[in-house]
């Protein structure tokens, strides 16, 4: 294994940074390529067929270009729809991001848990399966909140995000029958942990769970024994659409992504 072979993180936009953060903390000298499919953003409003075709095709191009040792689909929408397609199409380990329903059920006292994701994610049979397997004694409420995806993008692009806007976007989850008792909410979209502070302020006292730390441990496990660079090389952020503004470029640098490239479609 070439020590310089990077880890590839992939999302529709900036959400995957919430997965990259914990992974960098665990593997601080790993080379990183972070790809945002900004030309196709947002995934949550696309059809299953579009995502199932797009994700393996784009990942294939990224793998050919950057030769990563492992790819992380740092996006719940892409993972719940296209993880199997991507694994079938590509010859490298691929880690997906699936809604953290199991730990949420383990932590809930009220036995009412929430799944907050994109519209595409919350309608997936994958979510039914996870609920049946790991939360059969819980009421599992779901809500697709595309406005939260836009708010997370705006925050990373330097705009101020109002707590009221975050509250309005997530409120329908809590307004469903039984929603008063919700104590644990799965952030089933990688954009949402980027709004952790605002969500806490809008709905105090709830526990928010995402998959970031678990994915980091999975990456470390799958790459155990492999050599890494002595010093972290500059990370690369790849955009398929418009390049980042200055504020986003600064935020990316905070995640070690010092170089920006545009991958023409």
Question: CA torsion sign, 158 to 159 to 163 to 166?
Answer: negative
Among the residue ranges 39-47, 173-181, 211-219, 233-241, the one whose residues contact ligand DGL (CB under 6 A): 39-47
- Does 124 bind ligand DGL (CB under 6 A)? Our answer is no
CB of 199 to ligand DGL, least distance (A): 15
- Does 42 bind ligand DGL (CB under 6 A)? Our answer is yes
Distance in angstroms (rounded) separating the CA atoms of residues 182 and 108: 8
- Does 144 bind ligand DGL (CB under 6 A)? Our answer is no
CB of 49 to ligand DGL, least distance (A): 16
Q: Evaluate whether 256 touches 54 at the Cβ level (below 8 Å).
A: no
- Does 240 bind ligand DGL (CB under 6 A)? Our answer is no
Residues of the chain by 3-state class (helix, strand, coil), percent to 5: 45, 20, 35
Distance in angstroms (rounded) separating the CA atoms of residues 193 and 243: 23
CB of 1 to ligand DGL, least distance (A): 29
By three-state DSSP, how is residue 241 classified?
Answer: coil
Site for ligand DGL in 182-201 (CB under 6 A): 189-191
Distance in angstroms (rounded) separating the CA atoms of residues 186 and 176: 16
Among the residue ranges 72-80, 81-89, 244-252, 256-264, the one whose residues contact ligand DGL (CB under 6 A): 72-80
Q: Which residues bind ligand DGL (CB under 6 A)?
A: 11-13, 15, 41-44, 75-77, 118, 121, 149, 189-191
């Amino acid at each position: 294994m070439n020590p310089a072979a990077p880890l590839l993180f992939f999302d529709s936009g900036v959400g995957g940074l919430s997965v990259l953060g914990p992974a960098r903390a665990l593997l601080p000298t790993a080379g990183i390529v972070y790809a945002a499919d900004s030309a196709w953003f947002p995934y949550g409003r696309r059809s299953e067929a579009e995502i199932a075709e797009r994700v393996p095709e784009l990942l294939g191009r990224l793998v050919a270009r950057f030769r990563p040792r492992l790819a992380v689909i740092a996006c719940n929408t892409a993972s719940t729809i296209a993880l199997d397609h991507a694994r079938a199409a590509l010859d490298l380990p691929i880690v997906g991001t699936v809604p953290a329903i199991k730990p949420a059920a383990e932590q809930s006292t009220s036995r009412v848990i929430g799944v907050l994701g994109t519209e595409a994610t919350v309608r997936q049979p994958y979510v039914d399966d996870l609920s049946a397997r790991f939360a059969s004694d819980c009421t599992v409420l779901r809500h697709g909140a595309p406005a939260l995806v836009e708010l997370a993008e705006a925050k990373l692009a330097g705009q101020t995000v109002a707590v009221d806007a975050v509250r309005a976007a997530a409120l329908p989850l809590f307004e469903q029958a039984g929603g008063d008792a919700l104590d644990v909410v799965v952030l089933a979209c990688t954009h949402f942990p980027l709004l952790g502070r605002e969500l806490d302020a809008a709905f105090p006292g709830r526990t928010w769970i995402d998959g970031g730390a678990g994915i980091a441990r999975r990456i470390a496990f799958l790459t155990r024994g492999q050599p890494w660079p002595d010093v972290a090389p500059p990370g690369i952020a790849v955009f398929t659409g418009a390049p980042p503004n200055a504020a986003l470029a600064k935020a990316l640098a905070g995640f070690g992504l010092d170089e920006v490239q545009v991958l023409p479609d």
